[in-house]
Amino acid sequence: MTIQEAQLQVDNWIKTIGVRYFNELTNMAILTEEVGELARIMARKYGDQSFKNNESADTLPDEMADVLWVLICLANQTGVDLTTALQQNIDKKTKRDAERHQQNEKLK
């Protein structure tokens, strides 16, 4: 699935099953909540914290998808074409950081 197809599929789901988009501020709060849930799993799987008895790293893909879902909702609501935005962001980073990371002694 392309990013454009994902944006269309989420939009279709919202309009047929979800009734309507939550407002942008609500979705921003939900995005923050979802990122927190992802951070919790990451801290336990890759960091120093341990999982509680009822927690599992198995939810990592689902938590990432939740973040992506809400980000796509926000893009759809605000008229952002994520395909174009991502390409422009990659181009910006490529130009800005053309030699920066290769010259960073911390990365060697």
Structural tokens at position 90? 């990659």
pTM of the model: 0.90
How many domains would you assign to the chain? 1
pLDDT at residue 98, rounded to an integer:
85
Q: Output the pLDDT for position 57.
A: 83
Does some domain include residue 108?
Answer: no
pLDDT exceeds cutoff 90 at 107: no
- % of the chain with per-residue pLDDT over 90: 83
Residue 101 pLDDT: 86
Read off the tokens for 52: 């509680």
Coil, strand or helix at 89: helix
Write the burial class of residue 70 (CB in 10 Å: 0-12 exposed, 13-18 middle, 19+ buried). Answer: buried
What is the structure's pLDDT at 108? 83
Return the ∠ at Cα 22 (arms to 85 and 25), rounded to 5°. 65
CATH of the domain at 25: 1.10.287.1080
**Residue-range definition of the domain harbouring residue 12:** 3-80
Q: Is residue 52 part of a domain?
A: yes
- The pLDDT value recorded for residue 94 is 95
Average pLDDT, the chain: 95
